Copies of this chain bind each other. A is one copy, B any other.
Amino acid sequence: MTGGPRRTGRRPGLADTRGRILDAARHAFGERGFDGTSIRQVAADANVDPALIHHYFRSKQQLFVAAMAFPVDPSAVVPAVIADGPPEHVGERFAAFVIGLWDRPEVRPLVTGVVRSASTDPVAADMARRLLTEGPLLALASAIDRPDAPLRATLAGAQLMGVAIARYVVRMEPLASMPPDEVADLIGPSIQGYLAGDLGASSGRSQR
C-alpha cells in the first residue's frame, strides 16, 4: 500500500492522448480509407505530434487495426438471432441486426473504413472477409439446416456489403438517407432467400 488509488494503474496521458489519436484515426480512416489517410493528418486532427503516433502504435498498419477494432463481437449474437423468432424470418432479423449495428454513429466509421480500405490494403480485405462470410454469417448459415452453407454465407455477405457501400460510401439515394429498420425490411427477404431459400432461379429459366 504505497500510494492512493492512482498507484501504478496506467495513468493516462494528460488528456488521454492515445484515445484522441484513436478517435481521429477512426474518423480519418472511415472518411478517406487507409491510403487516403496520413499519419501527419491524424496527428493534426488529434492535436498531437506525429511522432507520438509511432510511439503508441508501431506503424500505420497497426494504428489501422487498433482504430478499426469492432467494439462488439457479432458472433455472440447469432444464437439470439436464431432463437428470437420463426426460422422463416431469420434472414430479416439478421439484416435488421446488422443494419442497426452499422448505423450506430460509433460503428459507422469502422464499416466505411474497412470497406474503403479493402480495395487496396490486403489487411483490410481480410478484415472485410472475416467481418462477413467467415464470421457470423457463416455461423448463421451453418446453423440453419440447409446445404451449401459457405455459398449461402457468401451470397448474403455480398448482399450486405453492397448495401453498405451503396448506403454509407457511395451514398446512393434514397437508400442513403432512410431509417435503418426500413432498409432492413427491404433487404431482409433477399438475405432470407440466400440463407434458407432454394438457391437458383427456381422454375422456368431454360435458357442460358
Contact = CB atoms under 8 A, between A and B. Distances in A.
B150 A174 contact: yes
Contact of A158 (B36, B165, B181): B165
A35 interface: yes
A206 B187 contact: no
A31 to B, nearest CB: 10
Nearest to A128: B170
Contacts of A85: 207
* Chain A, interface SS category: helix
Given A161-B162, A185-B201, A201-B189, A208 B175 contact: no
B157 A159 contact: no
A208 B187 contact: no
Interface string A130-165: 001100000000000000001100110111111101
Interface residues of A, number: 63
A161 B193 CA distance: 18
Nearest to A198: B208
Nearest to A150: B174
A28 interface: no
A157 B151 contact: no
Given A119-B33, A165-B165, A190 B193 contact: yes
A205 interface: yes
A206 B192 contact: yes
Given A154-B172, A155-B186, 18 more contacts: A32-B120, A35-B35, A35-B120, A86-B204, A89-B201, A92-B201, A96-B208, A115-B119, A119-B169, A129-B170, A132-B172, A155-B187, A158-B163, A158-B165, A161-B170, A189-B197, A189-B202, A193-B193
